[in-house]
């Protein structure tokens, strides 16, 4: 299974014994929308709802941090996602949150994971069938595992400031990156990590909401001066859209890509870190 699958492909695969579909819609900055309620109002048949707002590390005050491996595995088992499953993830969020779910699953050892190109919006636009309510879930075994190589913490990011070993790519909007727009979180400074470059996550998509591909996608990275053959760390506000840029690099064959989970929520709130503006 490719990392990115089409709605046609998914429609043909519906009902396959090893296929699991996941709705990973999440609205980090819009409290007026309830992703669980929207899921129950209409989802792709067979899809389960992955609550990204709840799938976090509760031992930290930082927003949306990766949960412990045991907690993640337990939640996946409860959703019926297990070893040997082919997992297809979609969302209906402007933040393209399926990428965060994809990264979390890959980080925790899932092998066959894909994102639905165009998400729920494309599925609905094509007039395909939707189902209401919740799905009946059957527990499956999900091996406890976590690949620390895919994650960066504050100490590693500070060390990278000195070494410059990894390119840092920020997925926030240009206004947030430059500091022209204030951070929405109290106590978090404006600006960006010195030396980082900006690839706003929405620049990786076509007008119809599908992913850019091939040279068109690569041109976005080229314009930002990112060398896909060299190590990359992605960051954003809270680690969600950073996964979008990470997935885009993955589509282009980049093999040394990690994500700074604390992102600007951590760096921008730390009085000891350097900040750059403009």
- Cβ atoms 146, 107 nearer than 8 A: yes
Which is the catalytic residue, given 24, 226, 236, 249? 236
Catalytic annotation on 178? no
- Cβ atoms 201, 58 nearer than 8 A: no
Q: Tell me phi and psi for residue 204, to 5 degrees.
A: -90, 5
Helix residue ranges per DSSP H, 153-213: 154-163, 174-178
Find, among 168, 185, 131, 182, the residue nearest to 259 by Cα.
168
Q: What is the helix (H) or strand (E) element at residue 45, kind and residue range?
A: none
Catalytic sites, residue numbers: 236
């Amino acid at each position: 299974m490719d990392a990115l699958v089409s709605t046609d492909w998914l429609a043909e695969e519906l009902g396959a014994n090893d296929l699991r579909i996941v709705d990973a819609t999440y609205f980090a900055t819009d409290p007026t929308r309830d992703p669980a309620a929207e899921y129950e109002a209409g989802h792709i048949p067979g899809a389960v709802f992955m609550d990204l707002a709840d799938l976090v590390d509760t031992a930290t005050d930082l927003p949306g941090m990766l949960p412990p491996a045991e907690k993640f595995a337990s939640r996946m088992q409860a959703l019926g996602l297990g070893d040997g499953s082919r997992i297809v993830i979609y969302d209906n969020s402007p933040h393209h949150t399926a990428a965060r779910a994809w990264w979390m699953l890959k980080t925790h050892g899932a092998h066959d994971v894909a994102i639905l190109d165009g998400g729920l919006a494309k599925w609905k636009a094509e007039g395909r069938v939707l189902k209401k309510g919740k799905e009946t879930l059957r527990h499956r075994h999900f091996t406890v595992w976590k690949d620390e190589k895919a994650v960066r913490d504050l100490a590693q990011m500070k060390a990278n400031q000195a070494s410059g070993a990894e390119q840092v790519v920020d997925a926030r909007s240009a206004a947030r990156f430059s500091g022209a727009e204030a951070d929405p979180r109290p106590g978090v400074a404006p600006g960006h990590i010195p030396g980082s470059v900006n690839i706003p996550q929405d620049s990786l998509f076509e007008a119809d909401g599908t992913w850019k591909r091939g040279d068109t996608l690569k041109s976005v990275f080229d314009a930002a001066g990112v060398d896909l053959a060299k190590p990359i760390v992605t960051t954003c506000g809270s680690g969600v859209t950073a996964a979008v840029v990470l997935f885009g690099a993955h589509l282009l064959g980049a093999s040394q890509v990690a994500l700074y989970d604390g992102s600007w929520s951590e760096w921008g709130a730390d009085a000891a870190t350097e900040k750059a503006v403009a």
